[in-house]
Structures are given as structure tokens and as C-alpha cells.
Amino acid sequence: MGGSQRIVIRGAGSILGENQPVFIVDGVPISNAGFSTASASGGRDYGTGISDLNMDDVASVTVLKGPNAAALYGSRASNGAVVITTKNARQASRGTKFSFSSRASVDQLSIFPKYQNQYGQGFGGEFQYVDGAGGGVNDGADESWGPKLDGRPIDQFSGKQQPWIAHPNNVRDFFRNGLFLPAGAFDFYELDERIDCVHATGAVEDRAVDIDGGSVDGGEIDRG
């Protein structure tokens, strides 16, 4: 499920009102109202109606603004209109057509905060770990006003008398480049004078588990 989509054409026209255009898909108005409960403290983003559109099925997109939009679609189009026409068989040549589409996306960390690597956890230059809940010396602190990171042995959550040193790449190394490869879409069209369109879109995924050189006996797998 994708995130909510919000589109504003040529800036906001109202401070308190709705600023999104009306979406018209094959002549039918589509609501793009959101039902998100997401906030700074949590929640979920359920997406919006326009997120359900598959761009592989779109033939054309027309953006209207001003009197042209209002004249065609009334007051609902006071903020503009996005007119979407999907593909259909009447515009295609007769015969059989197969098409395959696939996409890939890569996510990479854009902005990384700067961290200081001179002083460690604690307060007033003191820290000694016991239970992380205040049982030691400032071991419940999440600030870095503790001893200087000079390699001295200090009890830490990773063990007793560990070198007190900085780990400058521990946060950066946590993030890896994300690769998203959704299953491809396979389209089949059978067009003739009697049928406008027979159209099927499906996702193809292959998954297999192989056990090589073993046998199953009594519900357990014995490797050969």
C-alpha cells in the first residue's frame, strides 16, 4: 500500500479549505480524501484513492485549472481538475498483443546528522555501567556528557572493562541501500470485432525450497 498522495495546482487557493483538484478517471470523479492517522507520535497512513491507479493502465493525463475546469466539472473543480483516461481497446489495432513491464527503485540515505566522537555516555565526565537503569554511575543517561573517549577501560553494556572508544560509523553502517524489485506486470490483449477487450494483469513470482541429498523419515529430515 502506497502513501497518501496530495496534489496542489499552482499553489493553495484557500487557507482553511480544500486545495486539491478533483480527479476524473474515465469520466467518473474520484475522491482523493485521506484517512491517515499518522502523526509525530505514530499512527498509520492508509493512502488515498488516487494511489490505487496503476500507471501502466493510463493512456493520458490532462491538467485543467481555472474557468476551464469549473466550466466542465462545476464547483468541485474550483481548484482545478486532473483528467485521467485509461487504456481501452477501441484505440488499439486488432489482433493479439502481449506486453511486460517492470520497475526497480533504490533507496539511499539522503541526510545524515553529524555526531561528536569526543565524549561518551554519562554526566559530569562520569559513567559506569551496571544495569542501564540508573544502577551504575549515570548508566541511565542517554546524553553524552560522560568521560572523554580516550580508550580507558570502563564497564559498558558490552562487558566489563571495555575500551572507552568512539564508534563513528555505528549509525551509518546500520543503514543499507534499499532495493525494491516488485513483480512485473504481464498484460494480454485479445482484440477483434466481436470483443472490445479481454485484459488480464497479473504478478508472477517464483519461490522454491529444495532439499538436496536427504530423505524424510518419521517427520524429520535426514541429510544424506
Q: What is the pLDDT of residues 131-166, one digit of tens each?
A: 888 888 988 888 889 999 999 999 988 889 999 998
Asked, for residue 175, whether it belongs to a domain, the answer is no
In 3D, which of 23, 100, 88 has the Cα closest to residue 62?
23
CA 180 to chain CA centroid, Å, is: 10
Domain, as residue range, for 11: 1-87
What pLDDT is attached to residue 201?
Answer: 47
Mean pLDDT in the chain?
A: 75
Asked, for residue 82, whether it belongs to a domain, the answer is yes
Asked, for residue 9, whether it belongs to a domain, the answer is yes
Alpha-carbon separation of residue 151 from 136, 147, 161, 164, 200 (angstroms): 20, 10, 10, 4, 65
Asked, for residue 139, whether it belongs to a domain, the answer is no
What pLDDT is attached to residue 203?
Answer: 47
Asked, for residue 145, whether it belongs to a domain, the answer is no
Asked, for residue 28, whether it belongs to a domain, the answer is yes
Asked, for residue 199, whether it belongs to a domain, the answer is no
- Does residue 191 carry a pLDDT above 60? no
pTM for the complete prediction? 0.41
What pLDDT is attached to residue 89?
Answer: 60
Q: Map residue 76 onto helix, strand or coil.
A: helix
What pLDDT is attached to residue 186?
Answer: 60
User: Among 9-23, 41-55, 204-218, which is the least confidently predicted range?
Assistant: 204-218
Asked, for residue 135, whether it belongs to a domain, the answer is no
Looking at the 3D structure of the chain, how many domains does it have?
Answer: 1
Read off the C-alpha cell for 73.
Answer: 466539472
In the predicted model, what is the mean pLDDT of residues 110-117?
A: 83
- Count other Cβ atoms within 10 Å, centred on residue 210: 4
What pLDDT is attached to residue 55?
Answer: 79
32 touches 48 (CB < 8 A): yes
In total, the chain counts a number of residues equal to 224
